Structures are given as C-alpha cells and as structure tokens.
Amino acid sequence: MATWARLDGNNVVVEIIVISQPPSSCFTSDIVLTMVPGDGAVEGQIYDPNTKTFSNPIPPTPTPTDLLNAKLGAGIEIVSTGTSALNGTYPITDNAIANLTGLLAGLAEGLGLPLGQSTVPLADTSGVPHNFSVNALKDLASAIRDYKYSLQVTWNLLEASQPANWPSLPVTIA
C-alpha cells in the first residue's frame, strides 16, 4: 500500500489516498497529475515541489476585528485592592453589560440593590459568583466602561492603519 496526496492548484493537500497500485492504473491522467507521494501528509498542508516536503500553512495575521472580538470574548480581569474576593475575570458580553446596566439604573433611581440586599452576586467567566457591594459594583462598572472604551479606540486606530496598543489587564478597582 502506498499513500498519495492529491493537491489543488496552490499545492495544498486536498485528499489523502491509500492504494496498492500505481495511481496511473486507478485514476485518469488529469487526476494523476495532481498527485504526489504523501507519506505523513495531512489535508490542508502545503506541498513544496522543490524540497518534496509538506508543511503546515502559516495562519493569517489576525485583523483588528479578530483581536477585538477575542478580547471582548475573554472578558476583563479585575484585581480589587479592597476586597480580594472580587478578583477574577468577568464577562463583558452584551448580556453581562445589560445586567450590570439594570443594576446601576436601579441604584441611580434610589432603589438600592435587588431584594434590599447589601450585595449582589455577579459570576466571573468561570461561573463563580462574587458578591459586590454598591460601591464595588460602581467600581466594576467604571472599569468595564473604561476598558471597553479603550478597546474601541484602539480598534478604531488600528482599522485606520494608525499605531495603537491594546489596553492591558488586569484592571485595578478599589
């Protein structure tokens, strides 16, 4: 049995074929012309006809949008100088922001925290709840606002081909 790699027009392996006969006895000549010995080849690899070797393709450079989406998906890492139990990475998804906005709106209206509680649990990205006081909740909201704003400004600059650095983590709150 012999292993053959069938290539596309860009020398990318599109199929691995294992046969016991020469390819010319199994396939038409147009298919045979796209085949090379393929021991160890994997679909998606690139064949170099000069060295007769296979290599993995170089991944494309991530775009500013790719990087922004990765940072938004990763959340915000918070370090609290006043309450270490609040340390964690928190989601900054639309749902998490909507929940936080609702809590802050209630505070702004003088309603306090839900059910008259002195703290409210917010889950980190691992699902572990952390109990936030009113002040800590406001600090978290401010940190998220500033971080997301910095992400957006950086993305805008990079999209305009201007130099910029992504904001660093962790973000410290009181």
pLDDT of residue 75: 98
Chain segment 128-169, per-residue pLDDT in tens: 999 999 999 999 999 999 999 999 999 999 999 999 999 999
Q: What's the distance, CA 167 to chain centroid?
A: 16
pTM: 0.74
Q: State both tokens at 99.
A: 């929940």
Ranges of each domain in the chain: 2-55, 64-173
Tell me the β-bridge partners of 6: 15, 35
pLDDT of residue 83: 96
* pLDDT bucket at 50, cuts 50 / 70 / 90: very high
- Cα–Cα dist 105/63, whole Å: 35
Chain segment 52-98, per-residue pLDDT in tens: 999 999 999 999 999 999 999 999 999 999 999 999 999 999 999 99
